[in-house]
Amino acid sequence: MSSPTTVLQPTGAGIGPPQIDRPSPVIRAVGAAAIVGTAVTVWLGLWVTPPDEFMGEQVRLLYMHPPVAWISFLAFGVAACSSALYLWPRTRSRRFDRLAGASAEVGVVFTGLTLASGSIWGRATWGQWWTWDPLLTTTALLFVLYLGYLALRRVPGEFDACARRSAIAALVAFVDVPIVYFSVTWWRSLHQAPSVLNPTTGKTYVHGSMLWTMLLGFVSLTLAYVWLLGHRYRLARFQEIEDSEGLEVALAERRAEAVIA
C-alpha cells in the first residue's frame, strides 16, 4: 500500500508546452484601426452626409447595414474555403477546422445583426418589422443553417469524424449565400437591388460622400471581422489545449486507480 505522501505522476505522453502568447501586434493594430474606422463611419453617417432625396434620414442605415451583411458573406466564404481545405487530403490540418468554426461563429453574429438592422430599416421604410420576402427568408435560412453548423460542431465524437462532418455541413450551408445575394434579381422582392455593384446593370447608385462613407463602413467592419476572427481562433486553440490537458489528467487518474488497486 502506498504511503500518504506517495505521489503518482501521470505517465501519459505530454502535449508539449502550449503557446499561450499574447495577441500579435498586427491583430492589435487591426483592432485599433477597426475602432477608429467605425467611429469615423458613425460620425460621417449620422452627422456629415446629407439625407437622401427619396429615403430622407432613413438612408443613414445604408452605412452600416450593407457592410454587416457583406461581412456575413465573407465569414461564411472563409468558413467554406477552410472546410474545403480540411476535406482535401493534401491540405488537411486542424488549423483549417479551427478557422472554419471561428469564422462561422463570427458570421452568425453578423447575420443576426443583418436581420436585426434590416428589420429596423424595414419598419422605418416598409412599415413592418418582417415580411416573407425572398431576401429576408433566405437570410433567415442562412442564419439557421449556420446555427445548426455550430451545434453540429459541439456534437462529441472522434476528432476527424467531427471535423469532416462539420466541413461538409459548412459547404452545404454555403450554397445559400449566392441564393441570398441573387434573390433580389431572381424573384420579385420588396428589398432593393444591389446599389453599389449591381450585377445586372453594372451601375453604382450611390455617389459622393455617401459612397465614400459606405466604403469606409465596409473597410472598418472588415477589419473588425479580422480582429474578431483572430481572437476567436486563439480562443479555439486554447480550448483545444485545455481539453488535451484534461484528457491527460483523466488518463493519469485512471492509471493511478489501477496502481492503487
Partner 1 sequence: MSGYVAAGYVVILAALAVYAISLVVRERGARARLRGSSTATAPPAITAPAPVPAQVPAPEPPTALSSIDLPNPATTTP
First-residue to last-residue Cα distance in the chain? 9
**Residue 174 within binding range of partner 1, rule CB under 8 A:** no
| Residue 28, φ and ψ in degrees, nearest 5 | -65, -40
Q: Which of 33, 120, 141, 162 binds partner 1 (CB under 8 A)?
A: 120
Find the part of the chain contacting partner 1 (CB under 8 A) among 1-9, 80-88, 130-138, 185-193: 1-9
Q: Least distance from C-beta 247 to partner 1, angstroms?
A: 12
Residue closer to partner 1, measured from CB, 140 or 252: 252
Contact string (CB under 8 A) for partner 1, positions 20-59, x = contact: x-x---------------x---x--xx---------xxx-
Q: Can you tell me which residue has the cell 477546422?
A: 97
Q: Which of 116, 155, 172, 193 binds partner 1 (CB under 8 A)?
A: 116
Q: Which of 86, 124, 210, 226 binds partner 1 (CB under 8 A)?
A: 124
**Residue 155 within binding range of partner 1, rule CB under 8 A:** no
| Residue 23, φ and ψ in degrees, nearest 5 | -60, 150
For residues 171 and 148, what is the distance between their CA atoms, to the nearest angstrom?
13
For residues 164 and 86, what is the distance between their CA atoms, to the nearest angstrom?
8
**Residue 222 within binding range of partner 1, rule CB under 8 A:** no
| Spatial contact of 62 and 205, defined as CB atoms under 8 Å apart | no
Q: Which of 44, 64, 167, 206 binds partner 1 (CB under 8 A)?
A: 64
C-alpha distances in angstroms, 37 versus 28, 42, 219, 223?
A: 14, 9, 8, 9
C-alpha distances in angstroms, 129 versus 44, 68, 122, 132?
A: 26, 18, 6, 11
Distance of CA 199 to the CA centre of its chain: 25
208: left (phi over 0), alpha (psi -120 to 50) or beta: left
Query: How many binding residues for partner 1 (CB under 8 A)?
Result: 54
Under rule CB under 8 A, which residues in 227-256 are in contact with partner 1? 227-228, 231-232, 234-235, 238-239, 241-242, 245, 248-249, 252-253, 256
| Spatial contact of 68 and 107, defined as CB atoms under 8 Å apart | no
Q: Which of 68, 99, 100, 214 binds partner 1 (CB under 8 A)?
A: 68
105: three-class secondary structure by DSSP: helix
The residues of the shown chain that bind partner 1, judged by CB under 8 A, are 1-10, 17-18, 20, 22, 38, 42, 45-46, 56-58, 60-61, 64-65, 68, 109, 112-113, 116-117, 120-121, 123-124, 224, 227-228, 231-232, 234-235, 238-239, 241-242, 245, 248-249, 252-253, 256, 260-261
